[in-house]
Amino acid sequence: MSVISGIISSPRREGRFEILVDGNSFATLSLDAIDRLQLRIGRDILGLEERIAQESAQLKVFDRALNMLAFRARSSIELSRSLVRKGDDKAVVDLVIARLKEQGLLDDAVFARAYVRAKVVGAKQSRRRVQGDLGRKGVARDVAAEAIADVFENESVDQRAIVEEAARKKLNTMTRLEPLVRRRRLYAFLARRGYDTDDIRRAMEAVGEELRDVDE
């Protein structure tokens, strides 16, 4: 017989419980899983071994996912890719991602809005670059577009003003360069950030007087 001899708090994982079978650690489960499987001391787990193992495997990946999200926000696909790269089974990862979404712990729309706000309002990046970055992170195009539109409207984002501010800030770091080199590098810097050509041209014109002051 394989009988549950103890259910104790895990010393390594808060809120998790070790299932002891015949005095030996058999699996680590959540309280919900213990209730769902109706596990109790004295019960024979014959026939439940596979379900217990599945619950334990899912919980391990779930806890790893929570730790990753606590360290840095991620999109659902980005999180899934990271977990699979760490060696977790894709089928288990899919179940964990669905569970996180169901519990409201993983939401691509929320992630996208926070990312856009940080990159556009905070880091002064362009709409195009942020759109591309979100795409590479696995955020659907319509979700990304809606997030960008929301942030630009709610934060009253002026893309032209952002480009001009970025140009002035960069210009302050290039005072010792030759005029032509400075202009070329400033243009290249703005282009790499994904700003539109017209916005770059306007920004270069706006800082033109400052460029001349530096040249003198």
Report the run of H or E that residue 145 belongs to, with start and end: helix 141-154
Are residues 208 and 179 part of one domain? yes
Which domain does 171 fall in, by range? 159-215
**Using one digit for the tens of pLDDT, what is the confidence trace for 73-115?**
999 999 999 999 999 999 999 999 999 999 999 999 999 999 9
pLDDT, position 179? 81
Domain boundary among 69, 87, 102: 102
Q: What is the pLDDT of residues 8-33, one digit of tens each?
A: 999 888 899 999 999 999 999 999 99
**Which of 77, 102, 127 corresponds to the end of one domain?**
102
What pLDDT is recorded for position 142? 97
Residues 39 and 94 in one domain: yes
CA triple 142-96-89, angle to 5 deg: 105
Q: Verify that 12 and 94 share a domain, yes or no.
A: yes
Cβ burial 156-169 (10 Å sphere, 16+ → b, else e) = ebebeebbbebbee
Same domain membership, residue 96 and residue 10: yes
Q: Which two tokens stand for residue 136?
A: 């590479």
116 shares its domain with 39: no
Mean pLDDT of the region 114-142: 92
The total domain count for the chain is 3
CATH number at residue 81: 1.10.10.10
205 and 178 within one domain: yes
One domain, residues 140 and 205: no
Is the confidence at residue 165, as pLDDT, over 90? no
Tell me, yes or no, whether 144 and 168 share the same domain: no
Does 83 lie in the same domain as 20? Answer: yes
Query: Which pair of structure tokens corresponds to residue 211?
Result: 């460029």
Let me know whether 56 and 88 are in one domain: yes
140 & 187 share domain? no
Asked if 34 and 92 sit in the same domain, the reply is yes
* Neighbour count for residue 29 (Cβ, 10 Å): 23
pLDDT at 54 over 80: yes
Q: What is the pLDDT of residues 188-213, one digit of tens each?
A: 999 988 888 998 999 988 887 565 55
